[in-house]
Chains A and B, each alone.
Chain A
């Protein structure tokens, strides 16, 4: 069964999609992948689960549109040639793993019996209506919005079975520890002096390990001001992949390198700063070790500059914090913070797909959080009843929705809505529609969603009270 996968994002995304490609392969698909030409070298990293690659030359298409010396339809002609080449494969299926407007149009342009995911056909976008696709659309781009990892979300959208990468046994690894010190986004970087102190601390604690700094060619100069040249290992992607496969540990920032280490079965200590998210785009491994800040603005929005006068999240994290995580990772002791989110994941799974296979034993904290969430829901319902007059307001002012704004601010400031049950409410308040009736409609939709989610959550709490465990195959109303 010939299947094309559209994956035209960056290297890290392709690496996180590897379990999905593996799943297709396991189902007997002949897997072809269309990826960005500029990341062509990364195709080697997933070549074991892909039968054939095609390349989307995004840079050239865009360059040809912007530079006058190119024929005005040159980019369009190249795209036509690519579509013709792809159509000659006569695909049965196309999976759009990219989930953007561009990839949707591309998916609609290529012939196939069945298209999975977003696609554009006859002037309309399709494939975005499933509950999981809607969750992806509304929750994934919001800071702290998604409870599910990127790979898990795509797997749910496409109904594919995936499992996190396994960590290889210590005996299969050498005594090398790598540091990776730069990202392409300044706000995700950690002060280089911290990396120097961390290196010293690791060397003192683990005298039999070698600690080296991995560097891309353009990073060497800056790193040379902080590290001995012998400690800086400049290498390309293929060499890094080889080195990471044997290493004891990678300590790094939010880049594709951490995903590369994860697919090689190497433990990773992630230092997640700026917009780097502990859940959505963490390494997809059986065990994860993370160091992140708890300052109010963290994680911040993607693709915007740090809004603070100094880099608060980076300043809060010390080399000792990272060293603690290194000790855990070298001993392969897993963090247990994930447990805290399991109840929220379970609730969302039941809401979106009607069942959950998670095993979770709710605690007293779970019940206390449920009560807090219920209190907000009651206030939201009351505010809706008290503000029905908004329906006739033509030019909505902030004062008109003050009750909702106060509630939304309280929810955001408390940081207690870890399950993003009220995300639709805060979204509606941020993007306030100008007319009262439209605003009320958004608020009612938000209230309906949180009402249903909290009903599931409280049903679950009642089950706990009566000593039952609904963690496995729990169904709504069961």
Chain B
């Protein structure tokens, strides 16, 4: 049985084009259950910095807990992020009192924090500039500014993205 509140939240997400989804915030099982039922073909990883006792046991749902960014960047889960580049959706109702930390992790999980962006670009085989400067969350233009010019010219997909946002 899916509650109206949970269903409303899932409906508000619209279509999710990526095959892999990270849900940031594990503290609302009703929403997680509703999400798993709404998108049975998608692999959903519920991510949090706290290990909550109640979990949804659906075949397309798994859980990951990381208490620090250092732990995240050396984890297999981060390798999975680098490989699959999942879409990160948020359930702020499950963030109670942890907003600042969760927002920081949002940047790490989407590749939009300076450190995470560095790892993403290295994984792509790019030579990066000595210091990566981004705002609170990196934009695609920060990507182009972070990559060495020669390296950028050799990366077709980044060049195409650059033209798409020109």
A residues at B contact (CB < 8 Å): 58, 60-62, 65-66, 68-77, 79-80, 83, 101-102, 105-106, 108-109, 120, 122-123
Nearest-Cβ distance from residue B90 to partner chain A, whole angstroms: 7
Counting CB contacts under 8 A, is B163 at the interface?
yes
The secondary-structure label for the interface of chain A is helix
Given contacts A60-B17, A74-B18, A74-B87, contact A101 B166 (CB under 8 A): yes
Nearest-Cβ distance from residue A460 to partner chain B, whole angstroms: 43
Q: Is the CB of A105 within 8 A of B163?
A: yes
Given contacts A65-B164, A123-B153, contact A72 B117 (CB under 8 A): yes
Contacts of A60 in B (CB 8 A): 17
Q: Is the CB of B87 within 8 A of A75?
A: no
Contact with A along B114-125 (1 / 0, CB 8 A): 000100100010
Q: Is the CB of B17 within 8 A of A77?
A: no
Q: Is the CB of B137 within 8 A of A73?
A: no
Instruction: Tell me the complex Cα distance, A354–B72, Å.
Output: 67
Counting CB contacts under 8 A, is B89 at the interface?
yes
Nearest residue (CB) in A for B166 is A101
With A65-B165, A101-B166, A109-B156 known, 6 other A-B pairs at CB within 8 A are A66-B140, A68-B137, A71-B111, A72-B143, A73-B85, A75-B140
Counting CB contacts under 8 A, is B74 at the interface?
no
Q: Is the CB of A72 within 8 A of B160?
A: no
Contacts of A102 in B (CB 8 A): 160, 163-164, 166
Counting CB contacts under 8 A, is B138 at the interface?
yes
Instruction: Tell me the complex Cα distance, A69–B12, Å.
Output: 14
15 CB-based A-B contacts, threshold 8 Å: A68-B137, A70-B110, A71-B81, A71-B120, A72-B120, A72-B138, A73-B143, A74-B85, A79-B156, A79-B160, A83-B156, A102-B160, A105-B159, A106-B160, A109-B159
B residues at A contact (CB < 8 Å): 17-18, 81, 85-90, 106, 110-112, 117, 120, 124, 137-140, 143, 153, 156-161, 163-166
Instruction: Tell me the complex Cα distance, A75–B144, Å.
Output: 14
Q: Is the CB of B120 within 8 A of A109?
A: no
Nearest-Cβ distance from residue A135 to partner chain B, whole angstroms: 24
Instruction: Tell me the complex Cα distance, A337–B12, Å.
Output: 57
Instruction: Tell me the complex Cα distance, A244–B143, Å.
Output: 48
Q: Is the CB of A71 within 8 A of B164?
A: no
Instruction: Tell me the complex Cα distance, A71–B21, Å.
Output: 11
Instruction: Tell me the complex Cα distance, A73–B82, Å.
Output: 9
Q: Is the CB of A71 within 8 A of B85?
A: yes
Q: Which of A58, A71, A120 contacts B87 (CB 8 A)?
A: A71
Q: Is the CB of B161 within 8 A of A61?
A: yes
Given contacts A62-B164, A73-B143, A74-B85, contact A68 B157 (CB under 8 A): no
Contacts of B18 in A (CB 8 A): 70, 74
Interface centre among B18, B90, B157, B158 (most CB of A within 10 A): B157
Nearest-Cβ distance from residue A122 to partner chain B, whole angstroms: 8
Nearest-Cβ distance from residue A181 to partner chain B, whole angstroms: 32
Q: Is the CB of A101 within 8 A of B111?
A: no
Nearest residue (CB) in A for B162 is A105
Nearest residue (CB) in B for A108 is B156
Nearest-Cβ distance from residue B123 to partner chain A, whole angstroms: 9
Contacts of B157 in A (CB 8 A): 76-77, 79-80, 83, 109
Contacts of A122 in B (CB 8 A): 153
Q: Which of A68, A76, A83, A120 contacts B161 (CB 8 A)?
A: A76
Given contacts A62-B165, A123-B153, contact A71 B88 (CB under 8 A): yes
* 6 pairs of A and B residues whose beta carbons are closest in the complex: A109-B156, A71-B85, A72-B111, A102-B163, A65-B140, A79-B157
Nearest-Cβ distance from residue A26 to partner chain B, whole angstroms: 31
Instruction: Tell me the complex Cα distance, A56–B91, Å.
Output: 31
Q: Is the CB of A71 within 8 A of B110?
A: yes
Contacts of B110 in A (CB 8 A): 68-72
Contacts of A108 in B (CB 8 A): 156
Contacts of B137 in A (CB 8 A): 68
Interface centre among A58, A61, A72 (most CB of B within 10 A): A72
Q: Is the CB of B163 within 8 A of A75?
A: no
Instruction: Tell me the complex Cα distance, A79–B160, Å.
Output: 8
Q: Is the CB of B88 within 8 A of A69?
A: yes
Nearest residue (CB) in B for A106 is B160
Nearest residue (CB) in A for B152 is A123
Nearest-Cβ distance from residue B35 to partner chain A, whole angstroms: 14
Contacts of A73 in B (CB 8 A): 85, 111, 120, 124, 143
Nearest-Cβ distance from residue B44 to partner chain A, whole angstroms: 14
Q: Is the CB of B160 within 8 A of A109?
A: yes
Nearest residue (CB) in A for B134 is A72
Nearest-Cβ distance from residue B18 to partner chain A, whole angstroms: 7
Instruction: Tell me the complex Cα distance, A75–B159, Å.
Output: 11
Instruction: Tell me the complex Cα distance, A58–B161, Å.
Output: 10
Nearest-Cβ distance from residue A4 to partner chain B, whole angstroms: 15
Given contacts A68-B112, A70-B87, contact A76 B158 (CB under 8 A): yes
Nearest residue (CB) in A for B81 is A71
Q: Is the CB of A69 within 8 A of B117?
A: no
Q: Is the CB of B87 within 8 A of A69?
A: yes
Instruction: Tell me the complex Cα distance, A83–B161, Å.
Output: 13
Contacts of A123 in B (CB 8 A): 153
Contacts of A105 in B (CB 8 A): 156, 159-160, 163
Q: Is the CB of A79 within 8 A of B166?
A: no
Nearest residue (CB) in B for A120 is B159
Contacts of B143 in A (CB 8 A): 72-73
Instruction: Tell me the complex Cα distance, A106–B159, Å.
Output: 9
Q: Is the CB of A101 within 8 A of B163?
A: yes
Contacts of B160 in A (CB 8 A): 61, 76, 79, 102, 105-106, 109
Contacts of B156 in A (CB 8 A): 79-80, 83, 105, 108-109
Q: Is the CB of B161 within 8 A of A79?
A: yes
